Chains A and B, each alone.
Chain A
Amino acid sequence: MSGAVRRFDVAVIGGGSAGLAASITAARQGARTVLLERQGSAGGMGTAALVHSFCGLYLLRQEPGAVLANPGFCGEIERRMIEATGMGPQRFGRVDVLPQHPVEFARIADGMLAAESGLETRFHTVVTGVEREADGWRIDLADGGRMFCKALVDASGDAVVAGWLGGGFAVAPAAVLQRPAYVFGVRCGAVLDDAGRLRVSGLLVEGLRAGALPSAAMGLSFRASGRPGEVFGSVDLTGGVDGAEFDPLDPACLTALETTGRRVAHEAVRHLAERDPEWMGAYVSHWPARAGIRESRRWIGEHVLTGDEVTAGATFEDQIALATWPMEMRETARGPKLRFPVDDRPCGIPLRCLKPAGLERLWVAGRCISTDHEAQASTRVMGTCFATGEAAGREAAKVADA
């Protein structure tokens, strides 16, 4: 459709968990909506990066049983995913998590997107810039095409709109940015119970000691996918390249992440296949389309949600969703450090966090909403991104309608 000019009420940049919810919600409000996604499926980190848990769907609670924090879109996704995998929420320590399968997520997203008559989905669509116009936004596409919309939702994860406008965003110092994860699929008959996982840890350390594995293998962990014979591996990486600091917006840095992830995964799986009878014949069966980025640019909105507010479980008159995931710090590649709120309280996310300061007809959703570095460690998770996406879609549709 190169060269054609298209007009929409709402355009959503990025079809990850936030953009999926935003576009479907906007279309349901009657807005003529377009979803623009660079990959070949929606789902973002949950499909392209193979992140296989929905975190942040449920309230923190002592009592057994998982309770949705944000019904609505989250409830729809939860129901469809449980139907697809046959697996309900699981409690790990103090948190409830819904295991999700990336293959099912992409298919579920296809179905939900196709069900909305007012919604056009455009995969393999790269946006190169936006320009503010009198009654909305002009969107420039890599194929030379242009679109116009009355209201724009930035669900890019990287706050790309702020990047193009040249301001209005913040990025944490490279030393504390949450480290990325490289997730891959493994075909393998091993039963990853407690004993199996401990044996894997022991064998990997042996390989590291012997110099047979790269040091980045220290960031490896494995988990059963829920399907027989399938395991997900995950490597937390430091993200630096040749001593330079981690920059999740730099293609050179991202290239190093992808190649390091593949190398560690390949060597570790081969190592285990040679040494653990249960891993005999195991192989890497599935690379992600991209490494999993946890944090990059954040918008500066009318309110900046802080780590202190998350800790206190703050409430706001204009809150549109609850953040319930503990602040999961991944500032090193040595595993998560969880910071829980007082009395397990959920924290309200005010609508003002979705409203970039001083910019009309623009909303933001997902991991790049307006928070500080600490609060983002809670709000970045997919369960919360669905909820902020839903709210952004609803608000954008109102503006477009006016």
Chain B
Amino acid sequence: MFEVAPFIPFFVAAVLGLLLRGWLRAAVFIAVPVLGLANLWLLGTSSASIEFGHYSILDFNLLLFKADKLSLLFGYLFHIAALISVIYALHVRDTLQQVASMLYAGSALGAVFAGDLLTLFIFWELLALTSVFLVWARRSGRAYVAGLRYFTLHILSGLLLLGGIIFYAQTHGSLEFGPIGLDGTAYGWMIFLAFGIKCAFPFFHNWLTDAYPESTPTGTVFLSAFTTKVAVYALARSYPGTELLVYIGATMACFPIFYAVIENDLRRVLAYSLINQLGFMVVGIGIGTSLAINGAVAHAFNDVIFKGLLFMSMGAVLHVTGKINGSELGGLYKKMPKTTVLCIIGAASISAFPLFSGFVSKSMVMSAAIKNGHDWVWLILLFASAGVFHHAGIKIPYFAFFAHDAKLPAREPPVNMLLAMSIAAALCLTIGIYPQALYSLLPYETPYTPYDVTHVLTQLQLLFFSALAFVWLNLRHLYPPELPSVNLDVEWIYRRLVPDAMRALFNRLFALDDRLRSAAVGGVERLVEGVASHHRADGVMARNWLTGSMVAGVVMLLGVYLVLGWV
């Protein structure tokens, strides 16, 4: 057991990744999350609260590593996610991606174990800075502009966080990363909004659906694991029991499923469904009871794994066929049977089928909602659960692997991809069948039994009749076909409305400027013309004067002098 902050080995591995190639780099990249997880486990079981790595900037005492059960759970999760994603990306030769992904995973760990707000801020910005390279690594025009938008929003989130921290430090004289709450203070709202942007709150969610699907097949798997879960962790630490979060979460669980139904890019469908799952976690944090918080973090844990599995299966499809649009895919189960089965395990987990991981965590949040009198929220979450099954559980596997056979040339993905997916699938099943393994790691001691007759029966009824709706709609040709299209979302404001408005404004300004300039030029021209007109052949200034009239003038002048002398 070493007292070393978990991000350090990842950063060291990233530097080594620059120098090493081939199996040596692979060995280092696999060893770091495995050994890191073992070390963290020993640290976590050694004592109740652990902290080390004190340093100071200006007058503030900062802390690199502070752990309790909440941060330890996310720490374990991020090590597992890093391991799975690293294995999934082993075939990638692109050093930029490999290095960026290690730095990114390390930043997430740094943020989760940050002992104070300033340390959190540093890793918050590092998360944005390192992850944007995973978007750009696709090296397409779309990825480039999407990455720019992604980066801008995350920097905005970081600036809000920094502003909030400054106000917080002025008020409290400390930088403690603990409960903050929304009690009308400016810093409370600023930090809330900073966390909210990273957590893809409604109106700030489009960075996710914009950038994630534009990343590389392997990059998206890393992206889906860390950024939003760090935000969930930060919300759980600083804003538990904030009622506003219940309504924000319910909105997040609900609206993306409509988009997911009509979206064609299957990785974008998953991005929308990621927001939907975040909604469940945010509701749990908003309710704030020990059961609800446990449910939120347990669901975050499961979501990283099953959403990772789904992104991996779609990444495999993209890797093998070069296509990801539902309208171009279909019938791949014949050539990719293993990927199909693994994808279906992920789909069953996200849909919360009994014996799969989603079942044992989503229900905790729902049960907490109803126990705390949020009836309408419960109904919305129930609708969202049915909707998840509809778009992520059925649509993803159906349009990729079944439906009409697109007769694409395909084969199973490389063995490291299959291995990573198998590990994730095994975890989904293990947690689903033996939930106590996960429950024992949760921050609060609250007994909860997911498997009773009522719960299993009602969940199966909900899911089977959702599936029945899909079958009926499909047989009746009422199901919306997959169409190559773009669906407008909030991003339209900053991708179309504002640029158009700016363009119109500048055109107007240029026109005005043009008119002013031509008016000024015209004025000068008229002036020159006027002056010139007096000097031309017939002008006043160009006239000839008679000598006689000059003599008369002189005589008159002398006369005036004479008169003046007389007086």
Indicate whether A and B interact. no
Question: B-side interface residues toward A, CB under 8 Å?
Answer: none
Question: A-side interface residues toward B, CB under 8 Å?
Answer: none
